[in-house]
Structure 1
Amino acid sequence: MLKKSEGDDVSGQSEQVSEMACHWPLIDALMGGTDAMRKAGKRLLPQWPAEEPDSYKTRLDTATLFPAYARTVSVLTGKPFSKPVTIGDDVPERIRALLDDIDLEGRNLHAFASDLCHNALSHGLCGILVDCPPAAGVRTLAEERAQGVRPYFVHVRNDAVLGWRAEKRGAAMVLTQLRLMECAEEPDGQFGTRHVPQVRVLEPGRWTTYRKHRDAAGNESWGEHESGNISINEVPFVPVYGFRKRFMVGAPPMLELAHLNVEHWQSKSDQQHILHVARVPILFTKDIGPETKLVVGAGSSINATGEHADMKYVEHSGKAIEAGRLSLLDLEDKMRQIGAELLVIKPGNLTVAQTVADNEPGMCDLQRIMQSVEDAIDQALDLMAKYLGEKEGGHVSIYSDFGVATLAEASAQLLFDMQAAGALSHATLLNELKRRGVLSSEVDVDAEIERAAAEQREALRQQEEIAARRKPSGATGAG
């Protein structure tokens, strides 16, 4: 009997996807926060040799994550989307009318593109599927609108991609098959719902879904569930990359930051452990005699008869604690630097105006990534136009005036953004700016914060005085 080929498994990841997916569990845990990191257990927080299981469990249960990776992804995503996506004049009116609910889930194009960018920055690959429900029996535009028949965008997350086939046509690579993992929701009983995993296979002009079926012997296998036609003769999917390695293959732009964040998680756990040890001194006794009753506490005394009797507390010297604290600060600085590097304009041009004029040279990495997102949205709009019978979908523009000339400037800007987002305290921000030489080393951080607060209070008082003077003399609070 012939052995079934791995290529016959519709739910299996291709070799190219497996290559990308090896990093995703680590990134998923970092993006999931402390709870997800604890669930990862020994995979990301090793149990040391000779460490008792109960001790390890306590260490794991008390570990907390410094969320540098997730915060950096969020802050960087916020830069290009700090201003609305600009819709080009060449976008047809029929498509423009769909952009306020581009995914049939209430998100407009700006929010959809922001989520797309967030996924590409964190995991390195995602995509846009342009879907359209079947229009059975629809003959006119009015009937189409009445039934809600319209194309829409679907955000295909990185872990939904199982594999693909592609071929080169002219200068372009074209998908001839794409497999996606989905989760279909079905009614369960009178009130409940259940989620059924299924694989969708897309081919030019056709789609097929596969679900698990159980035979009489109780064995499960994937089999065809439903199929249908696509009204355009191509696979309606556009990939979006973090860092593009090749067609349909991307990498997380800040993978090294992810590894450093895991190192910080492990080192911080050690630091917490040694702090616990240092805070609990050990009572040392010498030659007090076995007959001496040991009572420790206020108002108690011990009478020892031994010639060399002694009793004292032994405490940790604290040198290792300080070394650990400095190591954590060094890791945090390295992580901020990696995030800031995506904002630094590469040598060649120093201004965004020069960058636009000369196109590729002088762009920062985040600007290049945003160009990729822009291009993907334009291609998706073209697919939408084909569903609607329009000649083209038009173009959009995403804000890109955020490149900086130096790493110090980028690092400072990232700190300001994190403080504005609530990820850093005012004091930490000023201390970090002092350490980078942006502020004078003579600045007293606490005094500066108090002075700033006093100025804010004075400004508020002046505004209230001006408002009171402008109030009509006979005015009252009554309506």
Structure 2
Amino acid sequence: MTSTVRDQTPAVETMAEDYPIVAALLGGTTAMRKAGSTYLPQWPNEDDDAYANRVKTATLFPAFGRTCEVLTGKPFSKPVTLGEDVPPRIVEWCDDIDLQGHNLHAFAAAVCFHVISYGMCGILVDFPNAGALRTKAEEVAAGVRPYFVHIHAQSILGWRAERINGVQTLTQFRFLEVVSEPDGEFGEKEVEQVRVLYPGRWQVWRESEKADASGKKDWVLYDEGETTLQKIPFVPVYGRRTGFMQAAPPLVELAHMNVEHWQSKSDQQTILHIARVPILFAKMLGDNPITVGAATAVKSDDPEGDLKFVEHTGQAIKAGSDELLALEDRMRQVGAELLVIKPGNMTVAHTVADNEAGMCTLQRIIQDLEDATDAALALAAEWVKEPEGGHIEIFNDFGVASLAEASLELLRDMNVDGTFSDESLFAEAQRRGVISPERKWEDEKLRIKQNAVKVTAAQVQIKDT
């Protein structure tokens, strides 16, 4: 069957296989519940109503989303630094780099989160249609200038590339976008369209009302135009690169483990519900009505008569709880792996073949993001005939030597933003050998309180003097 401009290429389809699970986990409990049996299968012979209730009461342990947030926060805990070679007017544009109120720091942080979670995205350097404006002075006066557009991985439909002067270069790039248009006097509707970029020109395609024999709608050319830039102004950013314009989510295994936790936690909630409701068992009591209460008694004339509550032993509950805790710890370890610095290379050949020695995975991602942002600034400069766009620096001094130290770093960040308790952080640090096993939390909590009083008194004394 002939492909339309809206169809994904096989390479994009392969990458997109991981997108639904990432989107569901980032969407939280609500999105996971909507996914239903996709990530929470219905048991054999399970009643539909019972399954529906199980889905409604399931809650997500947000390991994947929180790990992506914490890892993104590390490089952006300090402002992005603009080099002295960035032209003054581009420095000014960096305060609102996307014409939507986001400065370059916030824009780069959003791109970083996306490559950590989805594995890839890109920066499109666009330029508004100048319309009737004829001179550069008129464009400057009207505020017309290049701006960044964050192209999400889910929006990319396909591309074509050729090796030009030894460099793999885009010759066609397609992506999906949604635009809002007026609908009646007060309404608004969203219209899906495909933008196709070529060196020096662009097209916009929209779905028509016509359909082929199979019922598939035709896509027709809606608008087109030319650009002064004789290249496609798009820069890809990778999480775990697998090829040109291709990547995989660096935390995809954590995503699958998070789904496993979602399923196991649902089982645990179900067994807890069953165990908390004891079953009254009656034996050889005849047909007499039974009243159960604090001020009542039941008498049986049969010597073998019996009345008792049958309760769960609790062994399965303990096993399920232990498995959930172990799974949570494994998820922390997987997320922390991105912070562990790779061991140094042993030979010159290794050094030549691998320029990432002494870097952790997150540092490599940040280095790629820096290079991509520099390339985007260069494209912005090219739009306005600046000789160069300059360079930026993103904080990257956060790598650690061991997995235990890396996972503790993640827990500490969660503690700072209030999603992990002081006592739990103390216990995890103690388990990793950072804190002596002889220390007791209750004693430490008292010392912390006393220390806080001393610090407050010292601050008051300084203020008085």
- What SS does structure 2 have at the residue aligned with 1:112? helix
Match of 2:411 in 1: 415
| Residue 89 (str. 1) matches residue 78 (str. 2) | no
1:466 deviation in Å? Answer: 5.0
Structure 1 pair 466/233, CA: closer, same or farther in 2 (3 Å)? closer
Aligned partner of 1:271 in structure 2 is 268
List per-residue Cα deviations over 1:239-265 (Å, max 9, x = no partner).
Answer: 011000000001000111101100011
Cα distance between partner residues in 2 of 1:372 and 1:426? 35
Q: Residue 257 of structure 2 aligns with which residue?
A: 260
Q: CA deviation at 1:449?
A: 2.6
- Post-superposition shift, 1:462? 4.5
Contact 1:209 1:224 in 2 (8 A): yes
**Counterpart contact for 1:24–1:123, Cα < 8 Å:** yes
**Structure 1 Cα separation of the partners of residues 156 and 251 of structure 2:** 21
**Does 1:371 pair with 2:371?**
no
Which has the higher mean CA deviation after the structures are superposed, 164-173 or 28-37?
164-173
- 1:205 is matched with which residue? 200
- Could you tell me how far apart the structure 2 residues matched to 1:263 and 1:216 are? 42
Shift of 1:146: 2.4
Once the two structures are TM-superposed, the CA of residue 436 in structure 1 deviates from its matched residue by 1.8
After TM superposition, list the pairs within 5 Å mapping 1:97-136 onto structure 2: 97-136=92-131
Counterpart selection for 1:247 from 244, 248, 257 = 244
1:30-429 equivalence runs, <5 A: 30-215=25-210, 220-290=217-287, 292-348=288-344, 360-429=356-425
1:231 Cα deviation after fit: 1.5
Out of 417, 429, 436, the residue aligned to residue 433 of structure 1 is 429
Give CA-to-partner distance per residue, 1:49-84, whole Å, 9 cap, x none.
111111111111111000000000000001111111
Aligned to 1:475: none
Q: Is the 8 A contact 2:97 2:147 kept in 1?
A: yes
- C-alpha separation in 2, matches of 1:219 and 1:398: 46
Instruction: State how far apart, in whole Å, the 2-side matches of 1:92 and 1:216 are.
Output: 51
Post-superposition offset of 1:184: 0.9
Please identify, of 456-465 and 340-349, the stretch whose mean Cα deviation from structure 2 is larger.
Answer: 456-465
**Identical aligned residues as a percent:** 55
Q: Specify the code of the residue in structure 1 equivalent to 2:257.
A: L
Give 3-state SS (helix, strand or coil) of 2:339's partner. coil
Distance 1:47 1:76 in 2: 34
Distance 1:465 1:313, change over 3 A: farther
1:458 CA displacement: 4.2
In the alignment, does 2:21 pair up with 1:26? yes
Runs of 5+ in structure 1 lacking a partner? 350-354, 471-479
CA distance in 2, matches of 1:450, 1:178: 62
Secondary structure at the aligned position of 1:97 is classed as helix
Q: Is the partner of 2:172 in helix, strand or coil? A: strand
1:128, CA displacement in angstroms? 0.3
Contact 2:211 2:218 in 1 (8 A): no
The answer (yes or no) to whether the contact 1:120–1:240 under 8 Å persists in 2 is yes
Structure 2 unaligned blocks of 5 or more? 346-350
Distance in 1 of aligned mates of 2:44 and 2:293: 36
Which amino acid is 1:188 matched to?
A: D
- Partner Cα separation in structure 2 for residue 314 and residue 307 of structure 1: 20
Deviations 1:169-193 (A, max 9, x none): 1331100001110001111122221
- How far is 1:216 from its partner? 10
C-alpha separation in 2, matches of 1:80 and 1:321: 41
SS at match of 2:78: coil
What is the SS of the residue equivalent to 2:219? Answer: strand
- Report if the CA contact (8 A) 1:293-1:302 is conserved: no
Moved more, 107-116 or 433-442: 433-442
Q: Does the residue aligned with 2:307 lie in a helix, a strand or coil? A: strand
Q: Distance in 2 between matches of 1:453 and 1:340?
A: 31
Counterpart Cα distance in 2 of 1:398 and 1:462: 37
- Secondary structure of 1:330's counterpart equals helix
Does structure 2 conserve the Cα–Cα contact (< 8 Å) formed by 1:344 and 1:364?
yes
Report the secondary structure of 2:125's partner residue: strand
TM-score with structure 2 setting the length: 0.94
Q: Deviations over 1:234-293 (max 9, x none)?
A: 111010110000000010001111011000111011111111111111111111112x22
Question: Which residue identity lines up with residue 145 of structure 1 in the other structure?
Answer: V
User: SS where residue 182 of structure 2 aligns?
Assistant: strand
Cα 1:219–1:178 shift into 2, 3 Å: closer
Amino acid at match of 1:401: D
Contact preservation (8 Å) 1:427, 1:446? no
CA deviations on 1:315-374 (whole Å, 9 max, x unpaired) are 11111111111101111111111111111111118xxxxx9xx96311111111111101
Q: 1: distance between equivalents of 2:444 and 2:100?
A: 47
Matched positions, count: 457
Aligned partners of 1:212 and 1:220 also within 8 Å: yes
TM-score by length of 1: 0.92
Please report how far the alpha carbon of residue 465 of structure 1 lies from its aligned counterpart in structure 2 after TM superposition.
5.3
**More displaced, 101-110 or 143-152?**
143-152
Contact 2:211-2:217 at 8 Å conserved across structures: no
**1:215, CA displacement in angstroms?**
4.2
Please give the alpha-carbon distance, in whole angstroms, between the structure 2 residues aligned to 1:461 and 1:216: 78
